Amino acid sequence: MSHVITVGGRRIHATKVVCVARNYADHAKEMNTPVPTEPIFFLKPTTALLPGGGSILLPPESHRVEVETELAVILEQGGKDIPPEHAMGLVAGYAVFFDITARDLQSQARQEGAPWTASKGFDTFAPISTGVAASRVHDPHTLPIRLRVNGVLRQDSNTSQMVFRVPQLLAAASRIMSLERGDILATGTPSGVWPIVGGDVLEAEIPGVGSLKCTAVARNR
């Protein structure tokens, strides 16, 4: 279990994983949920990280685990109440991220008004690719984002479709919690989230940022 991620050839210790729910309108639609008017954040534990990809362990507690492909932002420097116009200067780099979700547990939590901790927080539920330095990415809001499962294209969108962009997300998150060096912001998924079973091979790419490959492994109780 590693909390160390590589960004632009440098190793950075990951401090927390801040995720955004429903940040692409087409994904909100496929979930039958409204597009938010303010960013909705949740956290994943750093113990869920799987740097460089590898085996996603499917927990026996869930009968429907889904993959969401996302652009991750890794912070060089943190802050509190960060103005949006200063936010991009704090970014170390970008990576490809899977927000692995036990959808059945999440649906149950939604119905009960319970937190998403279980549905989002299992070990290996946060694979992240090797990151590219921010200086190598001209604009993080113009990037194709794709997922193939067993070679079949399942997600095919562009980060231009984000509801809230990176500066707004960092500003909004930092009004709630202090952001720190090594924080990872997962910026939400486009539509096409896909259920995975043991043996499935997941391959995602964000051209100019990187690629991420994982295999799903069924885990017995």
Instruction: List contacts with Mg ion (CB under 5 A).
Output: 68, 99, 189
C-alpha 74/C-alpha 68 separation (Å) is: 18
Q: Which residues of 48-67 are buried (b: 16+ CB within 10 A; e: fewer)?
A: bbbbbbeebbbbeebeebbb
**Nearest approach, Cβ of 65 to Mg ion (angstroms)?**
13
Nearer to Mg ion, 17 or 79 (CB): 17
Nearer to Mg ion, 44 or 148 (CB): 44
**Nearest approach, Cβ of 90 to Mg ion (angstroms)?**
22
**Nearest approach, Cβ of 106 to Mg ion (angstroms)?**
10
Nearer to Mg ion, 99 or 205 (CB): 99
Question: What is the dihedral sign for C-alpha 78, 42, 25, 101?
Answer: positive
**Nearest approach, Cβ of 188 to Mg ion (angstroms)?**
6
CB count within 10 Å of CB 130 equals 19
Q: Which of 182, 137, 215, 134 is nearest to 5 (CA)?
A: 182
**Nearest approach, Cβ of 13 to Mg ion (angstroms)?**
23
Nearer to Mg ion, 19 or 132 (CB): 19
Nearer to Mg ion, 79 or 126 (CB): 126
Residue nearest to Mg ion (CB): 99
Q: Which of 126, 124, 92, 208 is nearest to 159 (CA)?
A: 208
**Nearest approach, Cβ of 173 to Mg ion (angstroms)?**
14
C-alpha 82/C-alpha 172 separation (Å) is: 8
Q: Which residues of 81-104 are buried (b: 16+ CB within 10 A; e: fewer)?
A: ebeeeebeebbbbbbbbbbbbbbb
C-alpha 41/C-alpha 110 separation (Å) is: 15
Phi-psi region of 104 (alpha: psi -120 to 50; beta: other; left: phi over 0): alpha
Nearer to Mg ion, 174 or 189 (CB): 189
